[in-house]
Amino acid sequence: MDSEVAMAHYVLTYHFKPFMTREEVAAMMEVYGSIGQAPGASANLVWADGTGGTVIGETDDTEALYRNLLSYGEWMEFDLKPVLPVEKATSHVADYLT
């Protein structure tokens, strides 16, 4: 068995729970100041409408990613998708078509 862990790209979409109080937002920001964003995040983009955002990243530690998301679950809902760079995906599509 190969002991090397592969890096995985991901896209994480988060939605803030609606109608949070100022106190809830302050508590969420305190956690963010303490533990920060998801491991391997290369971009964290907040939507201009204020309802959530998107994180793009790469990690070999999905347990740390899961632990990070648990810390914010009180204030957010998440959709986490593993993704492939298009240049890697197209070779699989070509193989599938042959």
Reported as a single tens digit per residue, the pLDDT across 15-58 is 999 999 999 999 999 999 999 999 999 999 999 999 999 999 99
pTM over 0.95: no
For the segment 61-87, the average pLDDT, to the nearest whole number, is: 95
Confidence class for position 13, pLDDT limits 50, 70, 90: very high
| Tokens 């699989």, residue located | 92
Mean pLDDT of the chain: 93
Domains observed in the chain: 8-97 (3.30.70.1060)
Cα separation, 93 vs 50, whole angstroms: 37
**pLDDT for position 6:** 80
Is the distance from CB of 87 to CB of 13 less than 8 angstroms?
no
**pLDDT for position 71:** 97
Confidence class for position 3, pLDDT limits 50, 70, 90: low
Confidence class for position 5, pLDDT limits 50, 70, 90: low
